[in-house]
Amino acid sequence: MLTKAQRGQFTWRDLKQMKGSHINLQVYAVPYSEHSSFFELTCFALSIEWEKMIATVNVGSEASRAKMNQWFERWKKEKAKRKEPFVQYRNIDYW
């Protein structure tokens, strides 16, 4: 049987709350790869409600962790300025 990663398919149905989640704090692990599109990651960050993101890739040095945290702050500021609640997809089959 193939895993979700091997199938290349991941939908909202695959999201499961992680241990420690409760009614006031819901934590989800979302698959992301260093080989994924940075554009897609940015669209994702601008299209969901979030309080904190924790990088799990490109975290090998303090400098790279700081760089990712700078992106998280940029995305949070951009999301606050946006009028649309999410980024429109390029076409119906794109995401």
Instruction: Report the Cα 43 to chain-centroid distance in Å.
Output: 8
What are the tens digits of pLDDT across the range 31-82? 766 666 888 888 888 988 888 888 887 789 999 999 999 999 999 999 999 8
Instruction: Let me know if residue 26 belongs to a domain.
Output: yes
Q: Which two tokens stand for residue 25?
A: 């704090």
Instruction: Let me know if residue 36 belongs to a domain.
Output: yes
Q: Distance between CA atoms of 94 and 90, rounded to whole angstroms?
A: 6
In this predicted structure, the answer to whether residue 7 has a pLDDT above a threshold of 70 is no
Task: Give the pLDDT of residue 79.
Answer: 92
Instruction: Let me know if residue 75 belongs to a domain.
Output: yes
pTM to 2 decimal places: 0.65
DSSP string covering 36-84, please?
Answer: S-HHHHHHHHHHS--S-----SS-SSHHHHHHHHHHHHHHHHHHHH-SS
Q: State which residues form the domain around 26.
A: 4-81
Instruction: Let me know if residue 30 belongs to a domain.
Output: yes
Residues 83-95 have a mean pLDDT of 75
Instruction: Let me know if residue 93 belongs to a domain.
Output: no
Instruction: Let me know if residue 34 belongs to a domain.
Output: yes
Reported confidence tier of residue 1, pLDDT bands at 50, 70, 90 = very low
Instruction: Let me know if residue 95 belongs to a domain.
Output: no
The number of distinct structural domains making up the chain is 1
